[in-house]
Structure 1
Amino acid sequence: MSYTVDFKNVSTIGLESSPVAEALAGVRAHEARYFMNKYKHGFTVVPASESRETLDYVQRILKEERELEFEAKALETSHFQVENIQFTYVFYEDGLAVNVMYTVDDPSKRAVGFKLSEDMEIPKELEGKFKFARQKSKLAGTIRGSYFVIKGEY
């Protein structure tokens, strides 16, 4: 069952099994606010168990580009296109949010981003491989983020 994320009243719906559910809900709401403000697009998520194709897509890019496989359980995904950019998100139980930004007509503007919920430890899969910048968010506290550029075609 899909859920359109409310960024005015942050909710842990769908994220209850996460030990950092409140912080992860803040990150999810932060993303929802961004897409509403920039593109007037509602940010809708679906349980990962109902979106295997989306999860497989993100896992394939992570594996082929950087040999990354996360142990944490995927809770939710989101996949949509605004303008000429496809966005795909996976929210993990440990508090990690992964997003793929894939510009359909410009290979130089494709990337994978990582966002860590407030107080979340850097996952061992990312330790020492990426530098994380801090960003303040009214909805999510302090978010740490990093990214890498996608080189392949997906």
Structure 2
Amino acid sequence: MTYTVDFVDVSTVGLESSPVAEALAGLRANEARYFRNKYDHVFTVEPADDAREAVEWVHRILAEEREIVIASRPLEATAFQVENIRMAYVFYESGLSINVMYTVDDPKKRAVGFKLSEGMEVPEELASRFKFARQKSKLAGTIRGSYFVVKNEY
């Protein structure tokens, strides 16, 4: 079932099994607010089992670009396009959020982003490969993030 993410009244719907559900819900709401304000896009998610195509696309890029396999269980995902940018998000039980920003007409503007919910440890599969910068969010507290540039076609 599709869930429209509300960034005014933040809810843990779909994320309840996460040990950092409140922070992950804030992170998800932060993304929803960004897309609403920048692109007037309504951010919706669905259970990962119902969004297999999006989850598989993200996992394929991680595996082929950097040989990364995420250990945590995906809870929710979404895929959509705004302007010339194809986007996909996967929210994991650990509190990790991964997004792929893939411009359809400019191979130089493609990246995978990682965001860590407040209160979670850096996942082992990312710890030795990435440094995480901190940013403050009214909805999500302190978010730690990192990224890498996508080099191949997907």
Alignment gaps of 5+ in structure 2: none
1:153 aligned partner: 153
Question: What TM-score do you get using the length of structure 1 for normalisation?
Answer: 0.99
- Does residue 121 in structure 1 map to residue 100 in structure 2? no
The separation in 2 between residues aligned to 1:22 and 1:51, in whole angstroms, is 22
CA distance in structure 2 between the aligned counterparts of 1:49 and 1:17, rounded to whole angstroms: 15
Alignment-mate amino acid for residue 118 of structure 2: E
Which amino acid in 1 is paired with 2:111? A
Please name the residue that 2:46 is paired with.
46
Corresponding residue SS for 1:87: strand
- Matched ranges for 1:5-154 at <5 A: 5-154=5-154
Q: Which amino acid aligns with 1:57?
A: W
The 2-side partners of 1:132 and 1:18 are apart by 21
What is the rounded CA distance, in whole Å, between the counterparts of 1:71 and 1:142 in structure 2?
A: 23
Letter in 1 for 2:134: R
Q: What amino acid is the match of 1:77?
A: A
CA offsets 1:99-119 (integer angstroms, 9 cap, x no match):
000000000000000000002
Cα RMSD, aligned residues only: 0.4
Provide the aligned length of Structure 1 versus Structure 2.
Answer: 154
Distance in 1 (CA, whole Å) between partners of 2:70 and 2:141 is: 24
Determine helix, strand or coil for the equivalent of 1:33.
helix
Gap runs ≥5 in structure 1: none
TM-score in terms of structure 2 length: 0.99
